[in-house]
Structure 1
Amino acid sequence: MDEFIKFNNQTSGRDKIFRLCQYTSRIVWYSLEKRHGNAAVLQKAKHLDEILGLMRRLLRFGRFYETLHSTFPVMSISDGVIRLTSSLSRIANASFMFLDHVVCLDKLGLLPSKMIEAPKWDLLATKFWLYAILLGLTRDFYDILRIYKEEFQVKFRTSRIREMANSAGTSSSTSTAEIKNLKYRIVNHPNSVVKCVRQVKVISQCVHDHADVAVDTVKNLFDLFIPLNSLGIVKLSPGVIGLLGCLSTVVSVIPQLNPMVKMVPSS
């Protein structure tokens, strides 16, 4: 209960609660619409979807400046790829929020009539959201490749050499030449089934050791299809979009509950 109270006290925590409810309501009204369910309940579910969407926009109102300002510390990162993708991702996210703020003001009737074309601004905001997700995925895949090079190849081959050395009764006095010969045999003549099993084990270990990258990648992959659908690049039903939104929200809660799996720097 204490963890929930702490989570709910955060603005981002409340946003995720509303987001989960919003996408759940979308699943509900789509299911009712498909099955020709109760019309009154259907309209209430659609109305709840719209209200929660507006509430989330109000909750993040003004955060575009905070997101844009957070770009400056990222620019001092030594790794060029992470520096570039993280900086551009935050700029794209800040642009999305700014445009979303303007659309929100228009929906509330606080802007002069016909000052903006809300559908076009909303479409542009969605594009910036898509750019931010794609940049985040680029950074995720870069981290995955780096992990592969650092852990998958080195640790996998080293552990296999040790296992084969032990099984062959290799003593501590084994010469360097014998170890090199053993390494060559393992790398070039592995049993395919054993190799596959070992690779799965190593991948599982990598996911466990780098849960932050795994969680961020899964979240971004779930999120990716939502703006793609809004832009008409892919065509998914509201029910599928609602399911993807729920899954993405649940995954994004994990770093807040466990800071050890939070990406640093976040995208």
Structure 2
Amino acid sequence: MDTFISFTNQSQGRDRIFRATQYACAFAKYLMRNEAKRKELLKKLQNLESNMSSGRKLLRLGNTVNSIHAAKSTLCISDPVLRFCLTVANLNRGLYFICDNILWARSIGLIREIDKESWSLNASRFYFLSLVMNLTRDAYVIAQLMVQRSQDRHYQQKVSQHLSESPDVACVIVPQLDAFLFLLFESLKSHPSVALDTLKNVCDLFIPLDRLGVYQTNAGVVGFCGLISSVLGILSVLRPNLKIKP
């Protein structure tokens, strides 16, 4: 109970609950889209999804400042690749929140003379760029972990044993591929925070890709990916050791 109270008292915790509910509604709507008997339920899910989206926009009003502050902090990172990826990601995230705040102001009537579609597309572009930078960081960290792991003598013994015991044809034809996948699995297994962050960013990537028309799927895929990434985000808040650093 104390963990739940602590979680809901955090703005990040509330936002992730709202986000998970929003995408759960979108996914449920897609699954029941052809069921004529559930029109009333579909309408309720639509209203709940809309309310969750509006609530999240209100909770995110201060996130632009947080993103700019985070960008200033990442400028101090000694590793040039991490410094570049995280700073650019935070700046794009800040620009995304600016667009999001303007869209929220328009939705409640504070601003009228703006092109909603244009600002929405710009928000998706900044969100996409932020995710790309975060995924680049993830790939860089994974590569570093794999190099470190491959130099470990204990791991070298494990991979030799794995290859000798695996009768699969692919292991005989492409032993390098099997060794690479085994190394990748072992590296992520020992660093769950990196695996979780990578999976979360990959799931999130489908949302702006669909919105921008780069890789169009359907509302079901977007809802499912958004729900999975939201659950992973909740885990990272509940268990800080699962949050990737820096």
**TM, length-normalised to structure 2:** 0.88
CA distance in 1, matches of 2:156, 2:45: 60
Give the CA deviation at 1:159. Answer: 2.6
TM-superposition CA deviations, 1:111-162 (whole Å, max 9, x none): 1x3x2111100110110000000000000001111111111x212xx23776
Amino acid at match of 2:68: L
Which of these residues, 188, 196, 199, is aligned with residue 215 of structure 1?
A: 196
Amino acid at match of 2:233: S
Please say if residues 19 and 52 of structure 1, whose CA atoms lie closer than 8 Å, have aligned partners that are also in contact: yes
Matched, 1:7 2:2: no
Runs of at least 5 residues in structure 2 that lack an aligned partner in the other structure = none
Please say if residues 193 and 244 of structure 2, whose CA atoms lie closer than 8 Å, have aligned partners that are also in contact: yes
Corresponding residue for residue 100 of structure 2: 100
CA distance in 1, matches of 2:238, 2:67: 21
Amino acid at match of 1:193: S
CA distance in 2, matches of 1:73, 1:95: 17
Which of these residues, 151, 162, 169, is aligned with residue 154 of structure 1?
A: 151
Corresponding residue for residue 234 of structure 2: 253
- SS for the counterpart of 2:33 is helix
Please say if residues 16 and 253 of structure 1, whose CA atoms lie closer than 8 Å, have aligned partners that are also in contact: yes
Corresponding residue for residue 118 of structure 2: 120
Please say if residues 213 and 263 of structure 1, whose CA atoms lie closer than 8 Å, have aligned partners that are also in contact: yes
Amino acid at match of 1:8: T
Corresponding residue for residue 59 of structure 1: 59
Provide the aligned C-alpha RMSD in A.
Answer: 2.3
Aligned length: 236
Please say if residues 62 and 101 of structure 1, whose CA atoms lie closer than 8 Å, have aligned partners that are also in contact: no
Which of these residues, 141, 144, 157, is aligned with residue 143 of structure 1?
A: 141
CA distance in 1, matches of 2:87, 2:7: 27
Runs of at least 5 residues in structure 1 that lack an aligned partner in the other structure = 164-185
Identity of aligned residues (%): 29
Corresponding residue for residue 36 of structure 2: 36
TM-superposition CA deviations, 1:29-83 (whole Å, max 9, x none): 2222223342222222112111111110001112101211221121111110000
Please say if residues 64 and 97 of structure 1, whose CA atoms lie closer than 8 Å, have aligned partners that are also in contact: yes
Please say if residues 140 and 216 of structure 1, whose CA atoms lie closer than 8 Å, have aligned partners that are also in contact: yes
CA distance in 1, matches of 2:108, 2:156: 66
Which of these residues, 211, 227, 230, is aligned with residue 208 of structure 2?
A: 227
Amino acid at match of 1:221: V
Corresponding residue for residue 90 of structure 1: 90
Amino acid at match of 2:31: S
Q: 1:162/1:34 Cα in 2 relative to 1: closer, same or farther (>3 Å)?
A: closer
CA distance in 1, matches of 2:40, 2:80: 55
CA distance in 2, matches of 1:103, 1:161: 54
Which of these residues, 149, 160, 166, is aligned with residue 193 of structure 1?
A: 166
Give the CA deviation at 1:206. Answer: 2.0
Corresponding residue for residue 170 of structure 1: none
Please say if residues 142 and 187 of structure 2, whose CA atoms lie closer than 8 Å, have aligned partners that are also in contact: no
CA distance in 2, matches of 1:73, 1:200: 34
CA distance in 1, matches of 2:232, 2:49: 21
